[in-house]
Amino acid sequence: MLRFVIRRVALTLPTFVALMFVTFIAVRLVPGDPIEVRTGERGISPERLAQFRHELGLDRPVWQQFLDYANGLVHGDFGVSIVTKTPVLHEFLTLFPATLELSLCALLLAVVIGVPVGVLAAVKRGGVLDHAVMAVALTGYSMPIFWWGLLLIMLVSESWGLTPVSGRVDLINYYFEPVTGFMLIDSLLSDQEGAFWSAAQHLILPSIVLGTIPLAVIARMTRSSMLEVLSEDYVRTARAKGLSPLRVVGLHALRNALIPVVTVIGLQTGTLLAGAVLTEHIFAWPGVGKWLIESIARRDYPALQGGIMLISGIVIVVNLLVDLAYVAINPRIRHG
């Protein structure tokens, strides 16, 4: 097992190096001069320009800039935002809890609904419920989530007035210092009446929007995995022993059917983070997705570069963990 872990971890290192290279090159190719963006249209004296370029290291050979960049990354230095002058890592870490909170809620929603629905569809295979679940899952899977978000805002927020349109909490009535960065927890810690409710209200629509595609994927996967397991011998044995159907399905079958589902859940990280960009854009959710889009508009190279590095790094690490967890549960692969 240890050898497998070491090999698998070693295999991700070239990916990280290549990722550094790709982000560096790509961001270098972005049109538009960052200095010009910062100084505006007025223009500045050539001396001032040269000074700026020197400060930012833009006057040095490209390969040297890359080495500096790589060296910085290894030491946790992701550069400094050209626009806000704060370290990129700091900005990212400030905003990331918002994205994480949203993603976790979306994933929770997807699992809590997706797994039972998938199990039900498998048990009632071929029935009306099964067909309905599969049809809804296909729709969810095909959903343009940015439109889905607008639709929900139109109905739930505008027509029915049930939820707020944007942001994380009602800033006019509530203010509290971030402790964990998770609005749900911070609002509870703040002891202000109604703060938690406000945060939860803000969270519900974005979570639905972001959770839709993972929900559909999880429901489909649970169903097909369950169908496979239900035809196994040990399930028949359990039935033959006279165990109650609930026990057979809920305990014997589900436990085994969940292994591939857990893998699929892990592999949704990329989907979630890509979806977060759109969801945060629609709901003005102050997370890393919205920040990334704004960085492009501001031509903030270091922010863009560091942001993509960090987001992709998270995806790589999570996928690695999923792989390792899968092997831990299922030793056959290790030796295969």
Q: Which residues bind other proteins (CB under 8 A)?
A: 14-15, 18-19, 22-23, 26-27, 29-31, 138-139, 141-144, 146-148, 150-151, 153-154, 158, 220, 223-224, 227-228, 270-271, 273-275, 277-278, 281, 292-293, 296, 304, 308, 311-312, 315-316, 319
Give the single-character DSSP code of 125: T
Asked whether 219 and 261 are in contact (CB, 8 A), the reply is no
Report in angstroms how near the CB of residue 36 gets to other proteins at its nearest: 16
Using CB atoms within 10 Å of the CB of residue 106, give its burial: 0 to 12 exposed, 13 to 18 middle, 19+ buried. buried
Q: Which is nearer to other proteins, 169 or 278 (CB)?
A: 278
Q: Which is nearer to other proteins, 183 or 265 (CB)?
A: 265
Name, in order, each residue with C-beta under 8 angstroms of 12's C-beta and a sequence gap of 6 or more: 316, 320
The Cα–Cα gap between 299 and 83 comes to 9
Report in angstroms how near the CB of residue 7 gets to other proteins at its nearest: 15
The Cα–Cα gap between 331 and 334 comes to 5
The Cα–Cα gap between 264 and 325 comes to 12
The Cα–Cα gap between 266 and 260 comes to 10
The Cα–Cα gap between 210 and 143 comes to 11
Report in angstroms how near the CB of residue 73 gets to other proteins at its nearest: 15
Q: Which is nearer to other proteins, 31 or 46 (CB)?
A: 31
Q: Which is nearer to other proteins, 20 or 105 (CB)?
A: 20
Report in angstroms how near the CB of residue 312 gets to other proteins at its nearest: 5
Asked whether 106 and 210 are in contact (CB, 8 A), the reply is yes
Asked whether 267 and 322 are in contact (CB, 8 A), the reply is yes
Report in angstroms how near the CB of residue 125 gets to other proteins at its nearest: 8
Q: Which is nearer to other proteins, 186 or 300 (CB)?
A: 300
The Cα–Cα gap between 170 and 152 comes to 19
Report in angstroms how near the CB of residue 317 gets to other proteins at its nearest: 10
Report in angstroms how near the CB of residue 101 gets to other proteins at its nearest: 18
Strand, helix or coil at 80? strand
Q: Which is nearer to other proteins, 22 or 162 (CB)?
A: 22
Q: Which is nearer to other proteins, 22 or 112 (CB)?
A: 22
Count CB neighbours of 190 within 10 A. 17
